[in-house]
Structure 1
Amino acid sequence: MSDDISMGSPSSAGEQGVLRSMQEVAMSSQEASKMLRTYNIAWWGNNYYDVNELGHISVCPDPDVPEARVDLAKLVKAREAQGQRLPALFCFPQILQHRLRSINAAFKRARESYGYNGDYFLVYPIKVNQHRRVIESLIHSGEPLGLEAGRKLN
C-alpha cells in the first residue's frame, strides 16, 4: 500500500465534502450535529473525540483539561508542512492515563459505596497492546497499576 497523497480535483460529491471540511470554513451547528450523528461520535468518542466548529475531528486527550483539545486536520497539515508523509500514527498517552484514573476512581467509589475493605489493584494485560510507548505511558501515569504478561494455566 502506498503512502503517497495526491491532491487532484475532487471527482465526486464525497471528495468535494472532504476537501471542504479540510478548509478553514466554519461549519454550521446543524452540519456539526449531523456529522456527530452520522458517525456516532458520542458513542465511540467517549468525550475524547468531537467535531469542532470547522467540521474537523478534534481530540481532547484529557477531558479534565478541555483547553488541550487538538484539531486532527491541523495536526496533519502541520506534519505535512514538516515534510512527513501520511499515513501517520498519532498517539495520545493522556487518554490512557485518563482512563486509568477513571477506572481507579470508579472502583474507589464502588468500594466506599459497598463498604468493601479488601484490596483492589488494576492489572493491565500486556497482550492487549504491547507497544513500548503504551506500556511506558501506563507505568508513568502515577496510578497504581500492575502488568500481566503470560497466560493463565488451568
Structure 2
Amino acid sequence: MSSPATAAFSDLDPLSTHSPTVTSLAAPDSALVTAAQLPQKSWTIEDSEKLYRIQGWGEPYFSINAAGHVTVSPKGDRGGSLDLCDLVESLKQRNLALPLLIRFSDILEDRIERLNSCFARAIARYNYKNVYRGVFPVKCNQHRQLIEDLVRFGQPHHFGLEAGSKPELMIALATLKNPGALLICNGYKDREYIETAILAQRLGQTSVIVLEQIEEVGLAIAASKALGIKPILGVRAKLTTKGVGRWGGSTGDRAKFGLTIPEIIRAVGELEKAGMLGCLQLLHFHIGSQISSISVIKDAIREASHIYVELAKLGANMNYLDVGGGLGVDYDGSKTNF
C-alpha cells in the first residue's frame, strides 16, 4: 500500500522565472507532472471583458469586438465605432512610430452634452426655477488642447472652469471667453491670487472666490477696497454629513478644508461690517468622490440647503449652490463604496 502522498517543490528558486516542477513522494512509480502538462483553459473574449471590466468603466465608449480587439465609439451609442488595432496598423503604414497618443475629443463633447442634458431633464421634470452651470477642475488635466476643446464644446452650455492655484487661474483666464460661464477660484489664496481673481471681472469673467479659511475673509476685504471692485464671494462649509467612498475620511466636520458654522457666522459678520455682505453669493461643500449611495448625497444636499437659506436670511445675496466635483463618478463601475 502506498503511503499518503506528500507534494514537494524541487529547485524552488525565489528569483527564478520558470514554473517549479511538482513531484510526488508517494510511490516510486508516480508520474512526474509539470505545470505545462496541466490542462489549460483557452482564454476567451469573455474572459478579457471580465478581467478588464470594460463594460463597467468604458460604456458606451469602449468595448471588445468579435475579433477580440478594443473598439472606441467617440459618440457613444449615438455614432459609429473604430477598431483600435486597425487604427494603429493604419497609422504605422503612414510611418508613424509607436508609442502613439490618440485623443478622441468627441468623447469630451459627448460627455458635456450628456451631463447638461441630464440636468436639463431633471430641471424640467421638477419645475426647478434656476439653471445648471457646470465647471471643469483644471487640476484634473492641464493639457492645453483638452482645456481649449472643453471650453469650445461647453460654450452652448456656459460650461466654466475651476482653478485651485495661481497657475491654474492663469490657464483659465487665457482660455475661458464665455461671460455666462463661471470661473470658480478655490485652493490656497494669498493676496496676489485674490487680486487676480477680482481683476478678472474687468475682463468680463464671472469669477467667484471661494473662502476656505477664515483668514481669507480679511484678505478679500482688503483686496476689494484696494482695487475698488466688489468681488463675488463664496464660502466652503464643513458639513456634519460625512461622505463615504475612497475620500470619505476627508469629509465631515473634521475635514481639513472649509469653514465650520461658527466660522461662517464670523465671516458673515466681517463682511457685513465692511459693507460687503451682498458680495457673498455662493455656498460650496464637498462630500468626497466615487459615491454610489444616493442617500448620502441627499443628506448632504439637505444640510447644505439649510445653511444656504440661513445665509440668505442673514442678508447674503445667495445665488449658487456649488456641489464639490466627482461625487457621482463611479470610476470602476462596481457600484460599491470603498
Q: Structure 2-normalised TM-score?
A: 0.35
> Of Structure 1 and Structure 2, which has the larger fraction of its residues in strand?
2
Aligned with residue 140 of structure 1, among 152, 164, 167: 152
For 2:105, the equivalent position in structure 1 comes to 93
For 1:52, the equivalent position in structure 2 comes to 65
Identical aligned residues as a percent:
36
Aligned with residue 88 of structure 2, among 73, 76, 83: 76
The 3-state SS of whatever aligns with 1:75 is helix
Structure 2: give runs of 5+ residues left out of the alignment: 1-42, 165-184, 187-210, 213-338
> Of Structure 1 and Structure 2, which has the larger fraction of its residues in helix?
1
**1:135 Cα deviation after fit:** 1.3
Task: Please provide the CA RMSD for this pair.
Answer: 1.8
Provide the C-alpha distance between the structure 1 equivalents of 2:161 and 2:111, rounded to a whole number of angstroms. Answer: 16
Contact 1:100-1:143 at 8 Å conserved across structures:
no
Q: Structure 1-normalised TM-score?
A: 0.72
Q: Which has the higher contact order (CA 8 A, sep 6+)?
A: 1
Alignment of 1:116-131 (within 5 A): 116-131=128-143
Q: Does 1:149 align with 2:198?
A: no
Contact 1:97-1:138 at 8 Å conserved across structures:
yes
Contact 1:101-1:143 at 8 Å conserved across structures:
no
**1:119 Cα deviation after fit:** 2.4
**1:65 Cα deviation after fit:** 3.6
Structure 1: give runs of 5+ residues left out of the alignment: 1-29
Whichever residue aligns with residue 46 of structure 2, its letter is S
In our comparison, the structure showing a higher alpha carbon Rg is 2
Whichever residue aligns with residue 75 of structure 2, its letter is D
Provide the C-alpha distance between the structure 1 equivalents of 2:52 and 2:137, rounded to a whole number of angstroms. Answer: 30
Aligned with residue 52 of structure 2, among 39, 43, 47: 39
**1:32 Cα deviation after fit:** 3.0
The 3-state SS of whatever aligns with 1:87 is coil
